[in-house]
Copies of this chain bind each other. A is one copy, B any other.
Amino acid sequence: MSVILSGNEIKKQILVELKDEVDHLIEKNIKPSLSVILAGGDPASEIYVSSKIRTCQEIGIQSVARKLPQSVSQQELLEVVGELNRDPSVHGILCQVPLPEQCQEEEVLEAIDPLKDVDCFHPFNVGLLATGNPRFMPCTPYGILQILKRSGILTKGKNVVVLGRSNIVGRPLSILISQKGWDATVTLCHSKTENIEEVCSRADILIAAIGISKFIKREHVKKDAVIIDVGMNRIIDPTHPKGKRLTGDVDFEAVKDKVSAITPVPGGVGPMTIAMLMLNTINAARISNDLPLFQL
């Protein structure tokens, strides 16, 4: 029987540790704070932002959602970023994507002060990460590393196959997990990879982040492999009360008794992302007070 790696449970542990650290900072008169910019009314974005704000409240981080209309101009958006950059009481800033179509995401993300960039999307922070000297951690990749670490799954010398080369998950994760300390041998696969089934079937740890529902079947996985499923695919399902449901990139039912451990969807990687955002916000507050980074 394989182990189900519960992101929900690990998130709870981590939030206890982070709340403790927030309490320590508050004792020193440092009140960590996060500002979330939400431009437009995308329903999924509204849910994500509410969830981030709620988690901040749970552990004592001050948080503000700055809601801007769907019609916001690039210039207005950049002015809000500039204002938050200059406000010393704001430690972390994130701008929820996607932006309205008249706005240029790249320019907005680069406008955020790298010392407040809690999503770790600014090129300067990505560069620090890539050169092995990270300040903030990319939230989903580092959440995955915490699942592995806290489940006693060693990565050193292991064959890790990462499926998907996005700038949010696959790319930064493939960099991080092959660095000193994690020391995995990483193969990064993507839409142009040939014989992807064969490559996957050699993985000791398989991390799927390609956004294709149930792409990974039983024949893709090695016996006793560890499977991390980053997929969040909404598929139509008339038998479900809401008419649709969330699935991963892995065919969970088909592989679960072949592998040694697997993350479920939902309740696996998803919850970890917000926990790591909290870590980064705490570290933004520490950086602005010349304190060393808090490590998990």
- List residues of A whose CB falls within 8 A of some B CB: 106, 122-133, 156-159, 165, 167, 171-172, 174-175, 178-179, 183, 185-190, 192-194, 199
Given contacts A124-B127, A130-B171, A132-B167, 11 further A-B contacts (CB under 8 A): A122-B127, A124-B124, A125-B127, A126-B130, A158-B194, A159-B194, A183-B190, A183-B192, A185-B190, A185-B193, A187-B187
> Do B188 and A178 touch (CB < 8 A)?
yes
Question: Within 8 Å CB of A185, what residues of B?
Answer: 187-190, 192-194, 199
Residue of A189, A193, A199 contacting most chain B CB atoms (<10 Å) = A193
Minimum Cβ distance to chain B for residue A208 (Å): 15
Q: What would be 23 A-B contacts, judged by CB atoms less than 8 Å apart?
A: A122-B127, A123-B125, A123-B127, A123-B130, A123-B131, A125-B127, A126-B126, A126-B127, A130-B130, A130-B167, A130-B171, A130-B172, A156-B192, A157-B194, A158-B194, A165-B178, A171-B175, A178-B190, A185-B187, A185-B188, A185-B192, A186-B187, A187-B187
Q: How long is the Cα–Cα vector from A11 to B92 in the complex, in angstroms?
A: 47
> Do A157 and B127 touch (CB < 8 A)?
no
For chain A, what secondary structure do more than half of its interface residues adopt (helix, strand, loop), or is it mixed? mixed
Question: Within 8 Å CB of A179, what residues of B?
Answer: 165
Question: Within 8 Å CB of A158, what residues of B?
Answer: 194
